[in-house]
Structure formats: structure tokens, C-alpha cells
């Protein structure tokens, strides 16, 4: 095996620098968020409420958590029924929760939720960076539950 020359080390360093930030900043798409919500609803229909909400909350094979995408479910009072990113939130009520701009975003989600789905915009901490960012969540009303999954909008804002 030959030892790496200066050019080889430089090339590897450049590739590592280029690959690192791109991989860390890869984000889910709007279509992927919609598909993830549809999968969560399909699971709910297939196995029932208790098992589906438990699987979303404790998903060891992240079908409901991928990069910055994750599923959340709450009832029409704003009580969290499942969260793929924060299982400790289950049971808490977020009806009066405000985002950084003062929006009552959970109330907005409940008001706009429809079986055919709707997008709701607000600001929320990004699970990849912890930074407060613009977010748009796909919200679907199903069996008196609000299923949601959102995308973080980064620099484009809302």
C-alpha cells in the first residue's frame, strides 16, 4: 500500500470539507413530509390508535423521524398524542403555545386541519441545529386527531 502524497491528502481534505456541511444541511422536502404524514395515518388505520401512537413515539426504526422531518400528533384540544422527536411531550397540552412571533400555532393548526391537508407556517426550533427557524407543517385531520410533519425553510423564510 502506498503512502498518501501531499496531493492525495489535499484532495481527501477538500472532499471531507465539501461532504461534511452538505450532509449536515440535507433537509427533507415538502413531498417527503406529506408522504411521512400519509404513512403515519396508514399505520393508524392498520393497527389502531394505541399501537400507532406508541410506534410513532417509540419508533426504533425511524419511519417517522428522518433528518429534520418528524411526525407529531395531537388531539383537537391541543394535547400531544405522539411525537417522534420529543416523546416526553406526549400528554402535554400546547393549545396556548406561541411561536417566536407570537402566533398561536397549535390553535392555527387545529383551525386549519382538514382531511385533505393544509400547510401551516410558524417558527420552531430545528432538530438538526437547535436554531429557531421558519417551518411549514403539513397538517391532516384524521379521526379527530391532527397528524403533522413539517419542513424547515432555512434562509427563504415564511
User: What tens digit of pLDDT does each residue of 37-57 get?
Assistant: 999 999 999 999 999 999 998
Q: Is 65 within 8 Å of 84 (Cβ atoms)?
A: yes
The pLDDT score that the predictor gives to residue 3 is 38
Between CA 80 and CA 2 the distance in angstroms is 58
Average pLDDT value for residue range 115-136: 92
Is residue 16 over pLDDT 50? no
The domain limits of the chain are: 29-156
CATH architecture, range 29-156? 2-Layer Sandwich (3.30)
What are 55-65's pLDDT values in tens digits? Answer: 998 876 678 99
Is residue 7 over pLDDT 80? no
Closest by Cα among 154, 158, 157, 155 to 67: 154
Is residue 6 over pLDDT 50? no
Between CA 69 and CA 81 the distance in angstroms is 17
The pLDDT score that the predictor gives to residue 29 is 93
The pLDDT score that the predictor gives to residue 23 is 39
71-109 burial code (b ≥16 CB/10 A, e <16) = bbbbeeebebbbbbbeeebbeeebeeeebeeeebbbebb
Is residue 2 over pLDDT 70? no
How many other C-beta atoms lie within 10 A of the C-beta of residue 14?
10
Amino acid at each position: 500500500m502506498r503512502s498518501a502524497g501531499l496531493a492525495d491528502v489535499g484532495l481527501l481534505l477538500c472532499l471531507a470539507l465539501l461532504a461534511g456541511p452538505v450532509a449536515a444541511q440535507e433537509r427533507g422536502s415538502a413531498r417527503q413530509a406529506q408522504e411521512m404524514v400519509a404513512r403515519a395515518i396508514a399505520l393508524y388505520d392498520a393497527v389502531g390508535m394505541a399501537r400507532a401512537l406508541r410506534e410513532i413515539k417509540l419508533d426504533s426504526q425511524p419511519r417517522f423521524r428522518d433528518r429534520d422531518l418528524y411526525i407529531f400528533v395531537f388531539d383537537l384540544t391541543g394535547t400531544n398524542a405522539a411525537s417522534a422527536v420529543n416523546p416526553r411531550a406526549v400528554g402535554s397540552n400546547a393549545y396556548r403555545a406561541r411561536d417566536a412571533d407570537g402566533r398561536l400555532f397549535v390553535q392555527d393548526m387545529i383551525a386549519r386541519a382538514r382531511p385533505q391537508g393544509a400547510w401551516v407556517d410558524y417558527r420552531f426550533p430545528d432538530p438538526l441545529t437547535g436554531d429557531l427557524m421558519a417551518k411549514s407543517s403539513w397538517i391532516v385531520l384524521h379521526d379527530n386527531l391532527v397528524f403533522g410533519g413539517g419542513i424547515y425553510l432555512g434562509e427563504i423564510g415564511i
